[in-house]
Homo-oligomer: A and B are copies of this chain.
């Protein structure tokens, strides 16, 4: 019998740990992947890639040769002496005395990952995703993405939300429509979840406030720079609201919190990507019809789709919000009822519109949310008026029949939020392994 007590400390150090060490001349050890080898003849620079960043090690010719065939793609363990070196990453390097090769590659890399900017096409980078992300700028995006998700959760925990995990295979889609992936579930027809909508609403009756971060699936036949067929949705739903403004206020404060966590804990990645996170003193909110008119008047663009915003209109509203209010973000409220799902609360002042909203970030929709109908009869009446049956929604409706508090919530597309923050122009840049109409691998 062995006893496993816990983490067995290693004697190797990260580049940050080395930079924090006081004593130059200290014997140190470090591990990493060989990111670049620059052979100057008498000395050889071997730059290691670690999770935290790059670490420069320097070999003399003899030491380098003794170590074996150190080349790009190897992983190694280097022993040597710590030196300050201003020109090296984080201002330190290891004067290597010996090295052990931990693993070797079987072939050359298909992309020059050691370049500052990778330079390959998006398609090439996605085809070789496990390699292209070894570029330190490419991978930094997903560190920032981690910070977004982490901030989202931590903020909601602090506001009394409970995290939930809801099924992705179900009998019926929450939004309906044709955009549903279908599968056979032990010989029964089933679908993949378009959103956790029904579940998070049901759980408001249990926990008052809930959130989920997980995948959703949309079989939309849109192959655009804005669409993914599988994406990560950041969802929350909250009870005892006074109106949709409570949901919008929660999102505003959540975003502010996320930006703070990014500034505090992901500063290095932001710097590497040359990204400044926005200050969010407030977010302006425009009514849907008002926004449509403003864009038409201000930019001379004639609106065509009366019940929806076209991508170009969203983009112009974004421009307007930036020029007029200095804000990257703008809420659009009171979307037409006929373009919103049945569970959206209609505006009692004018039932052609709903108490719902989108949030645009730099002119792209990143959130859809709103107040929901909480009254059983109002909900079933609206379903009947739309010609819907309650098939597959019996348990959802039961929650309402048994009483539900006034509530609302939203869903945020994580990849869209990520790329808008980073200033990338394709949502695929914000997804480790995108799924679109043409892409099912890697």
Q: Which residues of A contact B (CB under 8 A)?
A: 1-8, 10, 12, 14, 31, 33-34, 50-52, 72-75, 102-110, 127-131, 133-134, 139, 142-143, 145-146, 149-150, 153, 157, 159-160, 162-171, 181-186, 188, 190, 192, 199, 202-203, 205-209, 214-215, 217, 219, 221, 229-230, 232, 239-240, 242, 245-246, 248-250, 252-253, 256, 281-286, 325, 331, 333, 374-377, 392, 394-396, 398-406, 414, 431-435, 437, 440-442
User: 4 closest A-B pairs (Cβ-Cβ)?
Assistant: A73-B403, A395-B442, A105-B403, A130-B202
In the complex, besides A131-B398, A143-B162, 14 extra interface pairs with C-beta distance below 8 angstroms are A8-B249, A50-B208, A51-B162, A73-B403, A103-B374, A106-B376, A107-B376, A134-B206, A150-B157, A167-B230, A168-B168, A168-B217, A182-B183, A396-B442
Contact A149 B130 (CB under 8 A): no
Chain B residues whose CB sits within 8 angstroms of the CB of A240 once the complex forms: 10, 12, 31, 75, 102
Min Cβ gap A298→B in Å is: 13
A183 to B, closest residue via Cβ: B183
- Taken together as a complex, chains A and B put the C-alpha atoms of A107 and B162 apart, in Å, by 27
Task: Specify the chain B residue showing the minimal Cβ separation from A392.
Answer: B441
Cα separation A77 to B198 with both chains bound (whole Å): 25
9 contacts between A and B (CB under 8 A): A2-B245, A75-B240, A105-B403, A106-B400, A128-B398, A150-B157, A167-B230, A171-B440, A214-B215
Partner of A6, one of B188, B249, B435: B249
Task: Knowing A73-B403, A188-B440, A433-B199 are in contact, say whether A1-B165 is a contact too (CB < 8 A).
Answer: no
Least Cβ distance of A382 to chain B in Å? 14
- CA of A117 to CA of B200, assembled, Å: 24
Contact between B245 and A376 (Cβ–Cβ < 8 Å)?
no
Does more than half of chain A's interface fall in helix, strand or loop, or is it mixed? mixed
Contact call A102/B405, Cβ cutoff below 8 A: yes
Residues of chain B with a CB closer than 8 A to A12's CB: 240
Question: Which residue on chain B has the smallest CB distance to residue A376?
Answer: B106
Partner pick for A129 among B2, B50, B395, B403, CB 8 A cutoff: B395
Which residues of B are found within 8 Å of A104, using beta-carbon distances?
Answer: 375, 403
Are B404's CB and A103's CB within 8 A?
yes
Q: Which residue of B lies closest to A216 (CB)?
A: B168
Residues of chain B within 8 A (CB-CB) of A281 are 5
Q: How far is the CB of A43 from chain B (nearest CB, A)?
A: 24
Contact of A7 among B129, B171, B217, B250 (CB under 8 A): B250
Assess whether A245 is in contact with B405, with CB atoms less than 8 Å apart.
Answer: no
- Nearest chain B CB to A286 CB, angstrom units: 6
Which residue of the partner chain, among B4, B167, B256, B402, contacts A249 with CB atoms under 8 Å? B4
Complex CA gap A111/B59 in Å reads 73
Chain B residues with CB under 8 A of A437:
186
Chain B residues closer than 8 Å to A405, beta-carbon distance: 31, 33, 75, 102-103
State the Cβ distance, A246 to closest chain B Cβ, in Å: 7
Contact between B2 and A285 (Cβ–Cβ < 8 Å)?
A: yes
Q: Are the C-beta atoms of B406 and A102 separated by less than 8 Å?
A: yes
From B2, B8, B185, contact of A440 by CB (8 A): B185
- The reply to whether A435 and B169 form a contact with Cβ atoms under 8 Å apart is yes
Q: Are A3 and B282 in contact (CB under 8 A)?
A: yes
Q: Please state if B192 and A183 are interface contacts (CB–CB under 8 Å).
A: yes
Using Cβ atoms and an 8 Å threshold, which residues of chain B touch A202?
A: 129-130, 442
> When chains A and B are docked, how far (Å) is the Cα of A127 from the Cα of B373?
23
A170–B181 alpha-carbon span in the complex (Å):
13
Q: Please indicate the chain B residues that have their CB under 8 angstroms from the CB of A109 in the complex.
A: 402
Q: How far is the CB of A53 from the nearest CB of chain B, in Å?
A: 11
Given A103-B375, A202-B129, A282-B5, decide whether A166 and B441 contact each other with a Cβ distance below 8 A: no
Residues on the B chain within 8 Å of A6, using CB: 249, 252-253, 256
